[in-house]
Amino acid sequence: MSFGTGDLVAGRGFDCDLVLDDSLVSRRHAVFRQLDGDEIEVEDLGSRNGILVNDVRIEGPARLRHGDRVKIGSQLLVLKDLQKIKPRASTSELSRCPACNEFVPAEDPVCRACGARLHAPSIAPSAPPRGAETLSQRPSGSFAVLAQLVDKVLGLGRFDEAERVLTNMLGSLLSAARGAEPPASSVDPGSLATAAHYALRLADALGKPAWLDQCVELYTAAGQLMPAPLIDELYRIASKVHYTNPRPLRAYVARLKSDATELGPAGRFLLQRLEGLERRVVSG
């Protein structure tokens, strides 16, 4: 959970700030309040099953500290103080891991929390050409709000809702990419990587190969080289969901080959990995 200012109400009702899809949770179950000095307290709102803080039922407002466990129904929430878990660095020196969403130093090659690779190799020594973006870049504007919504509904296991939101996200990005000249000039790399990351998460969770198609088609339309962490995920999930449609990958590889003169050694290596995945999909 994260706080801005004011109260955060948790419950089963859709008007709550934190919606918990749990039959043991009341419609308006609990409220988290941010007090002076960044302290947080939680209070039961007269719920049927009450609240446990560190396995003890509370009878009134309870102050919370970093690491405290709050149980609402069958849902366990853990309070984290970001100042205690973030690296000691300024915001400009941090990036967010696309795999686990933790903040890590921007210069780190892998995430300290989950081990995922964070950066694609440099494509060229000068200004980055198409495809030099990394997953550490953040989406901007209203897209970032949609990304937070997808994160929330995925965390609650509401995959149908996540699919609806992500379909709209991908549709807007595809329209921007297909209508731009050149495509990469109007497609934010952070938004592109975020949308593709969520598409792969859905493919993994639901076993739907169509979301792999969406991921590949998105990068094809944008004319950008997919970062190494996404290619790693493509390999893993393609095997898991028995991906057997080589056409999107074939079109993507052909698009990249047409711009191959812009790629340095690292970029050509990533292109070879995509060609290898295409061959694997063809061979079954």
237 contacts 204 by C-beta, under 8 angstroms = yes
**Interval 183-225: pLDDT, tens:** 444 567 777 788 888 888 888 888 889 999 988 988 888 888 8
Q: What is the pLDDT of residue 267?
A: 83
| Helix-helix angle 189-206:159-178, to 10 degrees | 140
pTM, entire model? 0.49
Q: What is the pLDDT of residue 250?
A: 93
SS3 72: strand
Q: What is the pLDDT of residue 280?
A: 87
> What's the CA gap between 236 and 227, in Å, rounded?
15
18 forms beta bridges with: 10
Ordered mean pLDDT values, 10 residues apiece, the chain (284 residues): 64 83 90 81 93 92 89 86 51 54 62 56 34 40 63 78 80 71 57 83 87 90 86 89 89 86 81 90 79
Q: What is the pLDDT of residue 139?
A: 46
